[in-house]
Chain A
Amino acid sequence: NYIIGAFKPACNISITFSDGKTRKQVPLKKENGKTVMVPLFQSQENIAGKISVEPVQGKKVEHNGIKIELLGQIEMYFDRGNFYDFTSLVRELDVPGEIYERKTYPFEFSTVEMPYETYNGVNVRLRYVLKVRNYTPPPSINTSIKMEVGIEDCLHIEFEYNKSKYHLKDVIIGKIYFLLVRIKIKNMDLEIRRRESTGSGANTHVETETLAKFELMDGAPVRGESIPIRLFLSPYELTPTHRNINNKFSVKYYLNLVLVDEEDRRYFKQQEVTIYRLADTS
Chain B
Amino acid sequence: MMIPDGIEDEDKWLTAGIAGLQQNAFYMHRALDTNNLKDALKYSAQMLSELRTSRLSPHKYYELYMRAFDELRKLEMFFREEAKRGCSTIELYELVQHAGNILPRLYLLCTVGSVYIKSKEAPAKDVLKDLVEMCRGIQHPVRGLFLRSYLSQVTKDKLPDIGSEYEGDADTVMDALEFVLQNFTEMNKLWVRMQHQGPAREKDKREKERNELRDLVGKNLHVLSQIEGVDLEMYRDTVLPRVLEQVVNCKDELAQYYLMDCIIQVFPDEYHLQTLEILLSACPQLQPAVDIKTVLSRLMERLSNYAASSAEVLPEFFHVEAFAKLSNAIGQVIEAQVDMPIVGAVTLYSSLLTFSLHVHPDRLDYVDQILGACVGKLSGKGKLEDSKATKQIVTLLSAPLEKYNDIETVLKLSNYPRFMEYLDDGTNKVMANVIIQSILKNKTCISTADKVEALFELIKGLIKDLDENLDDEFDEEDFNEEQSSIICTVKKHILTGGTKRLPFTVPPLIFNSLKLVRNLQGQDESVSGDELSANPKKIFQLLNQTIEALSTVPASELALRLYLQCAEAANDCDLEPVAYEFFTQAYILYEEEISDSKAQVTAIHLIIGTLQRMHIFGVENRDTLTHKATGYSAKLLKKPDQCRAVYACSHLFWVEGHENNKDGERVLFCLKRALRIANAAQQMANATRGSSGSVMLFIEILNKYLYFFEKGNSHITLDSIQGLIELITTETQSETVTPDPAADAFFASTLRYIQFQKDKGGAVAEKYEPIKKGGSEKAWIIFNLQDT
Contacts and interface: CB of A to CB of B under 8 A. Distances in A.
Interface of A: 185, 187, 212-222, 225-228, 230, 232, 234-235, 262
B136 A218 contact: no
B103 A218 contact: yes
B542 interface: no
A226 B136 contact: yes
Nearest to B105: A215
A7 B351 CA distance: 105
B193 A218 contact: no
Nearest to B98: A235
A232 B97 contact: yes
Contact of A230 (B52, B134, B144): B134
A138 B134 CA distance: 28
A228 B97 CA distance: 13
Contact of A220 (B52, B133, B134, B197): B197
A219 B101 contact: no
A219 B136 contact: no
A215 B100 contact: yes
Contacts of B206: none
A216 B103 CA distance: 9
A219 B97 contact: no
21 contacts: A185-B139, A212-B100, A215-B100, A215-B101, A217-B138, A217-B139, A218-B102, A218-B138, A218-B140, A219-B138, A219-B140, A220-B139, A221-B139, A222-B139, A225-B139, A226-B136, A227-B136, A228-B133, A230-B97, A235-B98, A262-B1
Contacts of A185: 139
Pairs of residues from A and B, 6 with the lowest C-beta to C-beta distance, nearest first: A219-B140, A219-B139, A215-B102, A221-B139, A235-B98, A218-B138
Contacts of A221: 139
Interface string B137-165: 11111011000000000000000000000
Contacts of B143: 218-219
A57 to B, nearest CB: 45
Interface string B332-352: 000000000000000000000
B94 interface: yes
A232 B94 contact: yes
B46 to A, nearest CB: 14
A225 B143 CA distance: 16
Nearest to B103: A218
Nearest to B141: A219
Interface of A is mostly: strand
Contacts of A212: 100
Contacts of B94: 232
Given A219-B144, A222-B193, A232-B94, A214 B100 contact: yes
Contacts of A226: 136
Contacts of A232: 94, 97-98
Interface in B103-148: 103, 105, 133-134, 136-141, 143-144
A13 B97 CA distance: 46
Interface string B79-113: 00000000000000010011011110100000000
Interface of B: 1, 52, 94, 97-98, 100-103, 105, 133-134, 136-141, 143-144, 189, 193, 197
A225 B136 contact: yes
A213 B100 contact: yes
Contacts of B144: 219
Contacts of A214: 100
A115 B387 CA distance: 93
Contacts of B138: 217-219
B110 to A, nearest CB: 14
Contacts of B133: 228
Nearest to A185: B139
Contact of B102 (A217, A234, A262): A217
Contacts of B101: 215
A222 B103 CA distance: 19
- Which interface residue of B1, B98, B144 has the most chain A CB atoms within 10 A? B98
B287 to A, nearest CB: 18
A182 to B, nearest CB: 13
A216 B98 contact: no
B583 to A, nearest CB: 91
A217 B147 CA distance: 13
A214 B102 CA distance: 8
B620 to A, nearest CB: 100
Contacts of A220: 139-140, 197
Contacts of B134: 228, 230
A214 B197 CA distance: 25
Given A218-B137, A228-B134, 19 more contacts: A187-B102, A212-B100, A213-B100, A214-B100, A215-B105, A215-B137, A217-B138, A218-B52, A219-B139, A220-B140, A220-B197, A221-B139, A222-B139, A222-B193, A227-B137, A228-B133, A228-B136, A230-B134, A262-B1
Contacts of B103: 218
A185 B193 CA distance: 14
A186 B557 CA distance: 95
Contacts of B100: 212-215
- Which interface residue of A215, A225, A235 has the most chain B CB atoms within 10 A? A215
B260 to A, nearest CB: 23
A201 to B, nearest CB: 38
Nearest to B144: A219
A191 to B, nearest CB: 11
Given A228-B133, A228-B134, A218 B98 contact: no
Contacts of A213: 100
A187 B103 CA distance: 11
Contacts of B189: 222
A212 B197 CA distance: 31
Nearest to A221: B139
Given A230-B97, A232-B98, A216 B140 contact: no
A58 B103 CA distance: 67
Contacts of A227: 136-137, 139
A230 B101 CA distance: 13
A230 B98 CA distance: 10
A215 B246 CA distance: 29
A225 B189 CA distance: 10
Nearest to B1: A262
A282 B121 CA distance: 22
A234 B133 CA distance: 22
- Which interface residue of A212, A228, A234, A262 has the most chain B CB atoms within 10 A? A228
Contacts of A234: 98
Nearest to A224: B189
Nearest to A222: B193
Contacts of A218: 52, 102-103, 137-140, 143
Contacts of A216: 102, 137
B194 to A, nearest CB: 11
A230 B133 CA distance: 11
A235 B95 CA distance: 9
Nearest to B186: A225
- Which interface residue of B103, B136, B141, B197 has the most chain A CB atoms within 10 A? B136
Nearest to B133: A228
Nearest to B109: A230
A263 B753 CA distance: 112
Contacts of B136: 225-228
A162 to B, nearest CB: 15
- Which interface residue of B52, B102, B105, B144 has the most chain A CB atoms within 10 A? B102
A159 to B, nearest CB: 14
Nearest to A229: B137
Nearest to B190: A219
A280 to B, nearest CB: 16
Nearest to B193: A222
B129 to A, nearest CB: 11
B107 to A, nearest CB: 12
Contact of A228 (B52, B137, B193): B137
Contacts of B97: 230, 232
B106 to A, nearest CB: 9
Nearest to B138: A218
A217 B101 CA distance: 9
B507 to A, nearest CB: 75
